[in-house]
Amino acid sequence: MDVTNRYMDNFGLPPDPALLASQVADSRTFFLQLAGPWHEKLAVVLGGWERCQPDYTMTRDLYPYLVIELVVGGRGQCRLDGTAHRLEPGVCFASGPRTSCSIETDPEDPLEKFFFALAGPGAARALMTAGLLQGRARRLAALGELREMAELITREGRRHGPMAGAICGRLAEVLLLQIGESPAPGASMGRKAAPEGARENFERCRALIDAHAAEWRGLDEIATAAGLEGSSVCRLFRRFLGVSPHQYLRRRKMALAAAFLLEEGSRVKDAATRVGMDDPFHFSRCFRAVHGVPPSALMAARR
């Protein structure tokens, strides 16, 4: 597979319907800089969200960009250079300009997915570092926060502001970093499936964190709200997500903080307070550890 950009700078066509699938029931899409040269290390040239029709099928053998797709709903299958992969919520895959790629939805449960076409000198390396390309598809654990980041990219791309390209490029870098560090969900191969009660308790704990991430500070609040022992909550998160509940809470806080900084252009101190952190320096360290860039990078992109 060719994952280079050596001929992509010559792609100078205007927005073309062929760049998007037509068999969609609903969509929110955007176009940015379709033609090169791209000076950003990673550029998002088009993308968005779509809910497929029951008869959705798509085949592409020559596409001018690298493409990443994140399934957030429905079922289906794809083939990447002849290798078949099952599609379900949490599955992420990518294809290159010379990748043979086909996607088909389950007509009983149509696919819902985000997609982003990428270019720039660092695009292929970023996808490879995230564990994508070369016919691979990954099933990821942290779908909630990945979906939020994909929503942010889509929202910023549709604003059509003067800095939309820079903002989307940096957010795409963060998304790929998150994909690269996300463990596969569930137990390892060969182990028995988890009891339904354990999975239900985990999903309840995660939903509680998602709802109260801004104000909660640690494990005690999570365990009390869930009616479980703190040690039990820790075991559930390690088992099903591969991280501690504190790490998941921190990621949720930083996702909320990123949205606050992007949407309202506030100060770092205000964002820290908004997610229950009193020390802006500690907040900045946490933000960089989670997103791969400091909060000032997002603020600078909005100026």
Tens-digit pLDDT profile for residues 239-294: 877 788 998 899 888 888 887 887 655 788 888 998 999 898 999 999 888 888 88
**For residue 199, what are its two tokens?**
């999975």
Which of 221, 199, 200, 220 is CA-nearest to residue 211? 221
Phi, psi of 76 (to 5 degrees): 175, -160
Report the Cα–Cα distance between both ends of the chain, in Å, rounded. Answer: 39
pLDDT at 186: 42
pLDDT at 3: 36
Residue 140 has pLDDT above 50, yes or no: yes
pLDDT at 48: 93
Distances (CA, A) of 171 to 80, 250, 259: 26, 18, 11
One-letter amino acid for residue 129 of the chain: T
Using DSSP's 3-state secondary structure scheme, residue 194 falls into coil
CA–CA dist 234, 220 (Å, integer): 11
Residue 145 has pLDDT above 60, yes or no: yes
CA–CA dist 303, 300 (Å, integer): 5
Residue 193 has pLDDT above 60, yes or no: no
Instruction: Give the model's confidence band at 302: pLDDT under 50 very low, under 70 low, under 90 confident, else very high.
Output: low
Domains identified in the chain and CATH numbers: 8-181 (2.60.120.280), 196-303 (1.10.10.60)
Distances (CA, A) of 280 to 245, 252, 268, 303: 22, 17, 7, 21
| 29-88 confidence digits (pLDDT tens) | 999 988 878 888 899 999 999 999 999 998 887 788 999 999 988 999 999 988 999 999
Claim: this prediction has a pTM higher than 0.75: no
Residue tagged 């950003």 (tokens): 40
Residue 111 has pLDDT above 90, yes or no: yes
pLDDT at 121: 92
Q: What is the mean pLDDT of residues 109-134?
A: 91
57-60 sheet: strands from edge to edge: 57-60, 101-105, 76-80, 83-87
Phi, psi of 53 (to 5 degrees): -75, 160
| 76-98 confidence digits (pLDDT tens) | 999 998 899 999 988 999 988 87
Q: What's the whole-number average pLDDT of the chain?
A: 82
CA–CA dist 275, 213 (Å, integer): 7
Q: What is the mean pLDDT of residues 205-221?
A: 89
Instruction: Report which secondary-structure segment, H or E, holds 286.
Output: helix 280-291
